[in-house]
Homo-oligomer: A and B are copies of this chain.
């Protein structure tokens, strides 16, 4: 059945007030889909449908809703409902959701959780944003060193249902220090009396609570893990992060890079739910900064007033082509470098290898483009040979300079611990503009015997 048909039928059941049937229909759907359906409803109907949901599904559905809907729902349900919702949710989902709420609403939610959960939540809320601690879950399966395989299996059967994953069991000592891990797939093969210490993997990759989520994603991807344990500074196990959360981290980090590379202030809000004011504020700072840099480009042109007013207009007409090509060449190489650095495929120490490679690429690309441009300016625009040569030569040098700038700036940024993504096309374009115009006019002045 098509999704649009499903939506239609749900709407019909909702409007006709047949709540039993509606509940039955909802039980056939995944929490993700129900959450998506909820987003299409007005607050009143959303509340109604949420209350019709089977109790064991509501926490799951809730965790997939947008933060706006979560807030509107929390503001309209009673204290008892809040309490049972928080009890059912995984702690990491609760923390994610609280981080997005205004302080007053957070207070009301916290008042409705038991003391122990409240302490845990408060602890979580103190981890730095985007750190391993802030995205981990505490619902993992642990075993004490010295337990037998049979004891661990019995434990899993008893409490495993409330854990986010039971497929890796983490082994700790009396001081809660992480000692090793056992995969469930191996555990089920062992004799019940085997002591887990003797079969556990002791070489376990882990991260600490303060590690950045980007680093965590890198480790998980490198070792193809399904989950990674999180330890505190004393190597005590405090949580795990599962692969599904890592996928979201990867997409989030990529989106951030895309935004920075387009001169946007990264924002975690969804586009359609952000006000024009806020969008404008995210865009203005970089635009102002870049237009200040462009003042220099303007000053370069002003200082060559005589040249531009007395020579073939083709010289002026080629400014946009020169600027655009320089910007594009710079953007091509800076994008490759930024991406290589983000994926750990390139290191700042590779700078000379990269520069040498880019220099050869620039010679080739520049040759093709400048021959093309020489013929174009001479025969299509009808300029004379000297002017055509000035344009072609400037273009060749622009390509080389653009590649060098596009290559060095991201690597330099990485060296001084700035995000290389900031050194993307907008900034590079502006810098290359200034460099290429200076070159262009100097070449024109000396070759055309002016000035």
Residue numbers of A with Cβ under 8 A of B are 28-30, 32, 153, 156-157, 160-161, 166-167, 184-185, 188-189, 203, 205, 220-226, 243-244, 246-248, 250-251, 254-255, 257-259, 261-264, 270-272, 276-277, 279-280, 283-284, 286-288, 290-291, 294-295, 297-299, 301-302, 305, 308-309, 313-314, 316-321, 323-325, 327-329, 331-332, 334-336, 338-340, 343, 345-346, 350, 353-354, 357, 360-361, 364-365, 368-369, 372-373, 376, 380-381, 425-426, 429-430, 433, 437
Contacts and interface: CB of A to CB of B under 8 A. Distances in A.
Nearest to A308: B316
A326 to B, nearest CB: 11
A345 B247 contact: no
Contacts of A203: 28-30
Contact of A225 (B244, B290, B291, B336): B244
Nearest to A324: B294
Contacts of A365: 280, 283-284, 287
16 contacts: A156-B188, A188-B188, A220-B247, A226-B243, A247-B247, A251-B343, A258-B261, A258-B339, A272-B354, A286-B328, A291-B321, A297-B320, A298-B318, A302-B314, A319-B320, A324-B433
One complex includes copies of this chain to the number of: 2
B332 A290 contact: no
**Which of A226, A338, A343, A373 is most buried by chain B, counting CB atoms within 10 A of its CB?**
A226
Given A264-B335, A364-B277, A425-B331, A287 B369 contact: yes
A161 B189 contact: yes
Nearest to A434: B320
| Shortest 7 CB-CB contacts between residues of A and residues of B | A262-B335, A276-B360, A280-B364, A298-B317, A294-B321, A224-B244, A301-B317
